[in-house]
């Protein structure tokens, strides 16, 4: 198997992906507030007899939806960040491995060559 990773291309993809992921964080922060605003705009139930109005059915449903999904959205944002970080570390490890292999090849090339020809030398001569 041959790997053909181009560090500059990978860096570009990771950078642009990180920029998009930053948007998740902002969206998650505004998520709860926007749903609360929608819930309060959805109307109230008048309980009569001098009791304060309560959130209507749509408002209640929106509030419950927000409570039950906000953690999932935070998880998605956190997972995106960890995935980008992991891809960066994997690329770095690949490149370091490439450098180590290149250094090993250069080191081997600098060693004295084995001048014994097949069939000659120690015990294998004519």
45 has which bridge partners?
A: 54
pTM of the model: 0.58
pLDDT in tens, 32-81: 788 888 887 787 766 667 776 677 788 888 888 888 888 888 888 888 88
H or E element at residue 109: helix 57-110
Q: How crowded is residue 66: how many other Cβ atoms within 10 Å of its Cβ?
A: 18
pLDDT band for 13, please (50, 70, 90 cuts).
very high
**Which has the closest alpha carbon to 86: 18, 5, 28?**
18
Average pLDDT, the chain: 79
- Asked if 27 contacts 70 with a C-beta cutoff of 8 angstroms, the reply is no
- Asked if 80 contacts 23 with a C-beta cutoff of 8 angstroms, the reply is no
Q: Provide the residue ranges of all domains of the chain, joining segments of one domain with +.
A: 8-45+53-109
pLDDT at position 15: 92
d(CA 35, CA 32): 5
């Amino acid at each position: 198997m041959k790997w053909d990773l181009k560090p500059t291309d990978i860096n570009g993809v990771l950078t642009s992906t990180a920029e998009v992921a930053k948007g998740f964080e902002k969206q998650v922060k505004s998520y709860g507030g926007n749903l609360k605003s929608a819930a309060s705009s959805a109307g109230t139930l008048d309980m009569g007899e001098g009791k304060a109005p309560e959130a209507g059915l749509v408002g209640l449903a929106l509030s419950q939806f927000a409570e039950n999904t906000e953690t999932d959205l935070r998880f998605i944002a956190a997972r995106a960040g960890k995935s980008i970080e992991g891809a960066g570390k994997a690329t770095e490890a690949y490149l370091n491995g490439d450098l180590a292999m290149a250094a090993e090849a250069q080191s081997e090339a600098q060693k004295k060559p084995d001048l014994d020809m097949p069939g000659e030398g120690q015990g294998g001569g004519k």
